[in-house]
Structure 1
Amino acid sequence: MCADTPDYKDTLNLPETDFPMRAGLPKREPEWLERWAKIGVYDRLREKEGREPFTLHDGPPYANGHLHIGHALNKILKDMVVRSQQMMGKDARYVPGWDCHGLPIEWKIEEQYRKKGRNKDDVPVIDFRQECRKFAEGWVDIQREEFKRLGVAGNWADPYLTMNFHAERVIAEEFMKFLMNGTLYQGSKPVMWSPVEKTALAEAEIEYHDHKSHTIWVPFKATTAPEGLEAARFVIWTTTPWTIPSNKAIAYNPKVAYGLYRVDATEEESWTSPGDLYVFADTLAADALGKSRVTEFSRVRDVTAEELAVVTCAHPFAGLDGADGFWDYDVPMIDGDHVTDDAGTGFVHTAPSHGADDYECFVKRNWMDRMTHNVGEESEFLPHVPFFAGLQVFDRKGKEGKANNAVIAKLVEAGGIIARGRVTHSYPHSWRSKAPVIFRNTPQWFAAIDKEVGDGQDQYGKTIRERALTSIDELVTWTPQTGRNRLYSMIEARPDWVLSRQRAWGVPLTCFVKKGLLPTDEGFLLRDPVVNARVAEAFEVEGADAWYADGAKARFLGNDYNADEYEQVFDILDVWFDSGSTHAFVLRDRPDGAADGIADLYLEGTDQHRGWFHSSMLQACGTKGRAPYRGVLTHGFTLDEKGNKMSKSVGNTVAPEQVIKQYGADILRLWVAQSDYTADLRIGNEILKGVADSYRRLRNTMRFMLGNLAGFSDAEKVEPADMPELERWVLHRLAELDHKVRTGYAAYDFQGVFQALFNFATVELSSFYFDVRKDALYCDGDDSLERRAARTVLDILFHRLTTWLAPVLVFTMEEVWLERFPGDESSLHLQDIPATPADWLDEPLAAKWAGIRQARRVVTAALEIQRRDKVIGASLEAAPVVHIENADVLKALKSVNFADVCITSSVSLTGDPSPAEAFRMPEVEGMGVVFEKADGAKCQRCWKILPDVGTHKHADVCGRCDTALG
């Protein structure tokens, strides 16, 4: 530019905005949270009348620690569901809640006691429960703030807690419905028992880890056997030697081939001798005999299932001195489908008090009188068991006790073992204490899921199982569909529900039993609605502590019953019953619940098929006859960047708090939106850097719109019919996207919605539409149709992109909104997604512009070569000649300002064949580009090179800029 050439920069309509390039989210997000709380956004949304309700029922997290990344994933997904439903016109309510009862909290208080040298059993139970309540209250407050920091909107001022008095009342009432409808019973069966925590555990409280167990091969001598088998011994194999003292039978499978084997020779040291006769499954004989150091053996003959059926054996400890006849009983041979010939010996040692299959075999035969009670709550042999009294399977810390080795030693002494070893295998552990559990026969309270429920709510089945399976198939939508199969198979095969726990912190089983009666006797359980009502009324006022108060039994039984004739049950309910009952005291009882007591959606991780989804289904089917939800969405677990499970000991965990401190909560939310939540999700530093890069690109798109909308008013607006084709193409894309966004949000497909919007914003807008229209926006005069139309479209884009993205980027889109619409009461989150006219759709126009954009790609690629070779510095220095063989495409390109589309100063379009030197792209047939430099001088205002520059009123500008300057 010459010294006397005017500087036209100030005459351009350059973008004006204070919206910063750098987000500063960690610092600014708390300010927006305070603002939302101050103006009461959540409550103001509830004031919008006439809307269809949508209720996502919150699965209660446990109130006992800081949030981990799985919590963040779950709560962010829930928030995106609620916000998207709200902005699509629903009244989307969200009541957060917490699980407050149960073992984890009780365990923490006990740990505090142990550090102080106190014994829990010496503390009055109500005092202990009050300490548990106080502990839970503290963590509820901490977690509430951590959840809010994620940008999660909801009724945080009035959440639900399972320990609230009304909740405890309703949980007790829901339990008493099982009492009254006949599905509650007391039974004695093996349950998974934690010797460390001294309580029964549900399947949902179990996790499996590798565990090294003893293995023993134990021969049982026949006392009654068919001819030829009198001297034979039948060998079992087990990984739980401690259960041998409780053996009551040996199981075989009639479908397995068995044989009689004779020992011919052994190593010098062996617990077998030449001539010994043993029966094994044929596929396992060689391995078992090898383990017992047999070097030579012979198969004598087949042993048939008919022969096995009449065999009776003696217990290995039968007749031992000091046993006082404890094991002097017959051990029958029984058939069982659970017996296989892929490991062991083909025979299964059967202790019905310590195994699920063993127990079912005895139930089938009505042999419940043969159950044993040999092991106590600390996994110790009880005083009546000879030789082993007081010895533990696992000690108080979950380490192996002395029981296994003592049993093995006694078997050696009795000649009742032929081999031993060790095996590492998957074994059940408590997910809280991480200690191994045992199967132990204890009196427990159960809900019968195959007994007809006597409540008259039989529309979906007469039993809990029938109702649940019908609900799964007929009443619930599953996202993803695989969730249906998982829960269906679990409920189809599950046993009765163990409701009782032997702990102190929770809602008690509010029932009474008649002394002197057996659980099977009529009148054993007191079923009196008046008594139940007294309990419920007391719990409403005093909470469940009322059950433990002095004189509680007489108070609740009243004058109609002699309190001395009844026992009060002090077991507490499984916490899964607590959370399974939330539909009653949240959905049914709260004004912000659901009118019919049924949620539109339950949303949790895949582990909740055996947890909350499962217990809620069973509980509701027992009390209201159907599922408490219409939809179930499940998400995967969080893994590190390499796909490994996160572990504090490994050091690969990602704490939400740290991500928020470094990047901000919106980056965490964007990570969720970009991920396929139906599978396991990976997260780590490199992944978060990629997410942050996507965020920056999107932020730049929003900044461009804000800058070019400065001063925009309704007076500038152009009707769609009067807009240039390029703007109408953008409107067409908006109509398509509006459909995709709404259907995607309705299907909870956040990844699909975000990907579509991200590609649109960064590719179709930033890299195409904005790129093309910068010239008109910056350089055209204020009344230019192209500039006014472009600004009108930017305004339309603004309202849609902000509301479409608001459920994901709650903070950033609020920032964008307030940059344009400041005000004390202003908030994007009070808006709905705008309706998009259907007549914006224009498929012929879209097809035409698809061809134009394809042609543009060829020109851009051709110019890029010239730029790379330093022939030109910018595309405005070019005036390419474009050869198009297709007449329709040529016509389309001539109907628009193709030079502006290509961001060149000019362009020549011809139908002549492409010369040999023309640039071509293989994927675009019939098109070639010949590079030519633009002819003329450079306009000092718009930088186009045109022949007319310098021929107008204003120096060194083109005609368009001269007009704009006036």
Structure 2
Amino acid sequence: MSDTTTTQTDAGPDYRDTVFLPQTDFPMRAGLPQREPDWLARWERLGVYDQLRAKKSRTPFILHDGPPYANGNLHIGHALNKVLKDFITRSQQMMGRDARYVPGWDCHGLPIEWKIEEQYRERQQRKDDVDVVEFRQECRAFAQGWVETQREQFKRLGVIGKWEDPYLTMNYHAEAVIAAEFMKLLMNGALYQGSKPVMWSPVEKTALAEAEVEYHDHTSHTIWVRFKVQPSQGIWETVKDASVVIWTTTPWTMPQNRAVAYNPAISYGIYEVGAVAENATARVGELLVLADALAEGVMKSAKVEGFTRLRDVTPADMEGVLLAHPFRGIEGGAGEWDFDVPLLPGDHVTEDAGTGFVHTAPSHGDDDYQLGLKFGLPMTYNVEADGTYRTDLPIFGGQAILTPEGKEGPANVSVIKQLSYAGALLAKGKIKHSYPHSWRSKAPLIYRNTPQWFAAIDKVLADGMGEYGDTIRSRALTSIDKLVRWTPQTGRNRLYSMIENRPDWVLSRQRAWGVPLTCFVKKGARPDAEDFLLRDQRVNDRIIEAFEKDGADIWYHADFKARMLDGIADPAAYDQVMDVLDVWFDSGSTHAFVIRDRVDGSPDGIADLYLEGTDQHRGWFHSSLLQACATKGRAPYKGVLTHGFTLDEKGMKMSKSLGNTVAPADVIKEYGADILRLWVAQSDYTADLRIGKEILKGTADSYRRLRNTLRFVLGNLDGFTEAERVQPEDMPELEQWVLHRLAQIDAQLRHGYDAYDFQSVFQSVFQFATVELSAFYFDIRKDALYCDAPDALRRRSVRTLLDLLFHRLVTWLAPVLPFTMEDVWLSRFPSEEDSVHLHDFPVTPASWLNDDLAAKWDVVRRARRVVTAALEIKRTEKVIGASLEAAPVVHVEDGAMLAALQSVDFAEICITSGLSLTADPAPAEAFRLSEVPGVGVVFEEAPGEKCERCWKILPDVGSHAHPGTCARCDAVLG
């Protein structure tokens, strides 16, 4: 620079125009809520997703989208889920793979059907009066509307995918494939019709899958009931009028009782009632058979104030014993319950609660049903689909267990009163406990025996796909152990346990909106007869072809059966099944019509990853595993990742009634989608995640710090050209140390992205950017950037390093902060056709790693901490205003550390104008840090005058051609 660039004033020369300050248009304020939609439009115009697919010779990576339900606006859990998926697809793509993501929607099922029925009820219109195809079309239109709404909401999150061509379970091809997958069960022998208790919603009038059930606190009636022991051999010849006592929380099941269970491993006794309270229903002198561990509690509940244990009751004593049904001989019973019920052994009976005896109604509980199967107990059909007793049931006919609104009906109280009239009620009460509810209607559920269609999970399948087992269960368990990578590993244990212990899969639902069970049954044939189901691949092929052309609605056309069976079987001899498939079978089949059948899928129909919340161990992960094991012999995924639920800042479950919900749209409106994405990246998704105003404020602060780092890089790269570039081996040590850290972080980051550990990925980059760079490296190198000559090796090295940093930081962070990194990228490389998301992570040479250099600079940085801490005290005491006013003396005891510090410009590293290093012992007044022993700092003021250009205080200032400058600045000015 020449003298003409210097302005002489009374206060001295002004060299501001000679300093190379950062220049950038990248704004300090992000303005994300306003600017993000423009980037979305830009990516759509560029066709970024399709451009990425056009990159050849890449290994495919398929993250298969678990379909959200198309019936409402997105909640924060949706955002968490989709953002995690986007982190994965973007990072896998930028690591060199072909990361495909096809979003999809679950469109059939009860929630949508329920919404249409609600609309009917508002219009006082009956669903049964509407043609089923017309009703289904209304459901289809409702689902389509929400697909469009949710699609825009998902896109606003910055999620990249094939949004213009998603998969929908209600598309004709999807419905055809779902039917085809179902018919594979028909053909391989897994499908059967059985009458057994299933979880039933009286409100919705349909069976529910376990995944559709949630548990809430519920207050139930609880009763203790006497079952009179009938005269028999053994001790019962001498023990007269004894009663076995059961305890239940479902009084309404008592009319269906067909046995009482006991456990031979439990100790039992006969107890005689002594004194009783005034209002007790127990009778003085009566004999009660109870588990010894529970007898005292039973007596207390029955208000018995004194009792005596008379004798043991052994397993041999209970073998073959018959009991009278509590309603035997009841007035108005019409003989309905005039029979004995057996006392039967059962391992499911415990001493945890109750009496040690379990009332058994095979039609209303799985343990009861299994005991019934074992001992040939009769099934009952007393409870109708709406939760009322059959109208011709004596005494209780037509009474509701649950009302249409999901409230308790009169049945429980009515049964309790009749037990009391019959003298069978020993005690009653109420209990608050966890109870199953429908996750849609929120109404309580019951177990109800109904004819349903099942997939047998322990039957040997006739399909020739036995590599991983011959049954659905064995294939599923083998897949879990040998074929799937679990993130976190705890997911494996949870799903394994569920599969290991689950019953057969209930496939049928008694509803209208779904894919029908495409099968025909022979009229008059028993369900266990060989010819009960029509098994003919020609019929199956006709159905598939019809569904491909017209969708599943065609099943409900009057002539459909005749058309399908024409020339193959007599239509008059067969009934058409009108139930619809469990929607979990729909979503469980998606591997076939999405991964297998689409051009952007994979012919083997196997995804690299399924990703959903932890509740999907009993949902989509579960049903997909069972379905695929039944139809393709193995799991449809190589990996499963599960995330936790979203909670408010206090760790409470979000609820509209509590007013603590956080809507993604509200966060985006205030902060922008990148802040929401950053919240995900900073959280441990394997546990439940908290979110709220204060947490988001902290996230926004982290974002600002990171943005400032990137702005510094951009500003100091202004005008950088290849002519400036310096090779790594020619750079100063400090730059070589940063290159070493880049190589380390590159390896950590790639491993972290591959392990789906986004929290560690972001934290490693964030700490590097804001601590090692901003607070250390940039702080030191500002002087070189601003004041060195443009052709100086040190300044060129810094600028070269900033270029290398730029390409890595911006691409590394692009999967997490796609909007911001696009902004950064275009600020440096403006282009109408380019995008940061079209680039991969740069290859980082392993030669940059230098462990010896890194060890040396760890020593330098430790010593620097002592100096900066000492100077901070002087700044606080207002002895100095800036560190450049100091020239401290640093006493170093360790010879190796001293040598390391002497080999660098330690004053430059500590940002002081001067600095002396000595091996002399530090005086008592020297500043020390306990965590860095052997280093003492004695403060000294820097001698000399302040350079008006670089602000260092040096003895030579004022002795050069340019007034008020040091030697370095004088030389730069020329």
TM-score range, shorter chain: over 0.9
In the aligned structure 1, how far is the partner of 2:485 from the partner of 2:792? 52
Paired residues of 2:231 and 2:237 also in contact (CA < 8 A):
no
SS at match of 1:332: strand
Shift of 1:318: 1.6
Shift of 1:917: 2.0
Matched, 1:185 2:195: no
Shift of 1:365: 2.4
In the aligned structure 1, how far is the partner of 2:284 from the partner of 2:122? 59
Say which of 13, 17, 27 aligns to 2:24: 17
- Bigger mean CA offset, 271-280 vs 454-463: 271-280
The equivalent of 2:473 in structure 1 is 465
The equivalent of 1:409 in structure 2 is 417
SS at match of 1:110: helix
SS at match of 2:230: strand
In the aligned structure 1, how far is the partner of 2:428 from the partner of 2:880? 84
Matched, 1:91 2:94: no
The equivalent of 1:363 in structure 2 is 373
Deviations 1:472-529 (A, max 9, x none): 0100000000000000000000000000000000000000000011101110000000
Shift of 1:265: 2.8
Shift of 1:894: 1.7
Deviations 1:601-656 (A, max 9, x none): 00000000000000000000000000000000000000111111111111111110
Q: CA RMSD in A?
A: 1.0
Shift of 1:907: 1.0
In the aligned structure 1, how far is the partner of 2:641 from the partner of 2:666? 28
Deviating 4+ runs (over 6 angstroms)? none
Matched letter for residue 370 of structure 2:
E
Deviations 1:440-477 (A, max 9, x none): 00000000000011100000001000000000010000
Shift of 1:887: 2.0
Deviations 1:267-318 (A, max 9, x none): 3333232222211111222222232232222222111111111210111112
In the aligned structure 1, how far is the partner of 2:911 from the partner of 2:238? 100
Matched, 1:729 2:737: yes
Shift of 1:2: 5.4
SS at match of 2:720: coil
Matched, 1:252 2:262: yes
The equivalent of 1:292 in structure 2 is 302
SS at match of 2:566: helix
The equivalent of 1:112 in structure 2 is 119
The equivalent of 2:575 in structure 1 is 567
Deviations 1:47-78 (A, max 9, x none): 11000110000000000000000000000000
Matched, 1:340 2:354: no
Shift of 1:7: 1.2
The 1:224–1:547 alpha-carbon spacing in structure 2 relative to 1, beyond 3 Å, is farther
- Bigger mean CA offset, 553-562 vs 647-656: 553-562
Shift of 1:186: 0.2
Paired residues of 1:162 and 1:168 also in contact (CA < 8 A):
yes
Matched letter for residue 115 of structure 1:
E
Matched, 1:64 2:77: no
In the aligned structure 1, how far is the partner of 2:194 from the partner of 2:863? 78
User: Which segments of 5 or more consecutive residues in structure 1 lack a partner in the other structure?
Assistant: none
Question: 1:615-694 residue pairs with structure 2 within 5 A?
Answer: 615-694=623-702
Shift of 1:657: 0.6
Paired residues of 1:15 and 1:707 also in contact (CA < 8 A):
yes
The equivalent of 1:746 in structure 2 is 754
Matched letter for residue 277 of structure 2:
E
Question: 1:733-812 residue pairs with structure 2 within 5 A?
Answer: 733-812=741-820
Matched, 1:150 2:157: yes
Paired residues of 1:514 and 1:566 also in contact (CA < 8 A):
yes
Paired residues of 1:507 and 1:572 also in contact (CA < 8 A):
yes
Matched letter for residue 582 of structure 1:
T
Say which of 939, 945, 949 aligns to 2:947: 939
- Bigger mean CA offset, 914-923 vs 355-364: 914-923
- Bigger mean CA offset, 313-322 vs 850-859: 313-322
Matched, 1:451 2:459: yes
The equivalent of 2:927 in structure 1 is 919
Say which of 237, 244, 258 aligns to 1:234: 244
The equivalent of 2:557 in structure 1 is 549
Shift of 1:195: 0.4
SS at match of 1:434: coil
Shift of 1:888: 1.9
Question: 1:285-324 residue pairs with structure 2 within 5 A?
Answer: 285-324=295-334
User: Which segments of 5 or more consecutive residues in structure 2 lack a partner in the other structure?
Assistant: 1-7
The equivalent of 1:47 in structure 2 is 54
The equivalent of 1:327 in structure 2 is 337
Deviations 1:399-433 (A, max 9, x none): 00011111111111111212111111111000100
Shift of 1:4: 6.3
The equivalent of 1:847 in structure 2 is 855
Deviations 1:712-766 (A, max 9, x none): 0111000001000000000000000000000000000000010000100000000
The equivalent of 1:861 in structure 2 is 869
Deviations 1:791-841 (A, max 9, x none): 000000000000100000111011000000011001000000000001000
Paired residues of 1:531 and 1:558 also in contact (CA < 8 A):
no
In the aligned structure 2, how far is the partner of 1:627 from the partner of 1:512? 29
The equivalent of 1:578 in structure 2 is 586
Shift of 1:321: 3.5
Matched letter for residue 765 of structure 2:
L
Deviations 1:121-164 (A, max 9, x none): 11100000000000000000000000000000000000000000
SS at match of 1:391: coil
Deviations 1:316-355 (A, max 9, x none): 1122333222112220000111111231111111000001
Matched letter for residue 231 of structure 1:
D
In the aligned structure 2, how far is the partner of 1:224 from the partner of 1:332? 13
- Bigger mean CA offset, 348-357 vs 222-231: 222-231
Question: 1:507-526 residue pairs with structure 2 within 5 A?
Answer: 507-526=515-534
The equivalent of 1:828 in structure 2 is 836
The equivalent of 1:716 in structure 2 is 724
Matched, 1:612 2:620: yes
Deviations 1:875-901 (A, max 9, x none): 111111111122222222122111111
The 1:216–1:549 alpha-carbon spacing in structure 2 relative to 1, beyond 3 Å, is same
SS at match of 1:36: helix
SS at match of 1:560: coil
Deviations 1:68-122 (A, max 9, x none): 0000000000000000000000000000000000000000000000000001111
The equivalent of 2:917 in structure 1 is 909
SS at match of 1:559: coil
SS at match of 1:677: coil
Question: 1:868-887 residue pairs with structure 2 within 5 A?
Answer: 868-887=876-895
In the aligned structure 2, how far is the partner of 1:532 from the partner of 1:713? 68
Name the TM-score, length of structure 2 as normaliser.
0.98
In the aligned structure 1, how far is the partner of 2:790 from the partner of 2:464? 74
The equivalent of 1:484 in structure 2 is 492
In the aligned structure 1, how far is the partner of 2:407 from the partner of 2:169? 34
Matched letter for residue 263 of structure 1:
V
Matched letter for residue 296 of structure 1:
G
In the aligned structure 2, how far is the partner of 1:906 from the partner of 1:130? 82
Paired residues of 2:196 and 2:449 also in contact (CA < 8 A):
yes
Matched, 1:354 2:352: no
Paired residues of 1:219 and 1:417 also in contact (CA < 8 A):
yes
SS at match of 1:583: helix
SS at match of 1:418: strand
Paired residues of 1:224 and 1:310 also in contact (CA < 8 A):
no
The equivalent of 2:271 in structure 1 is 261
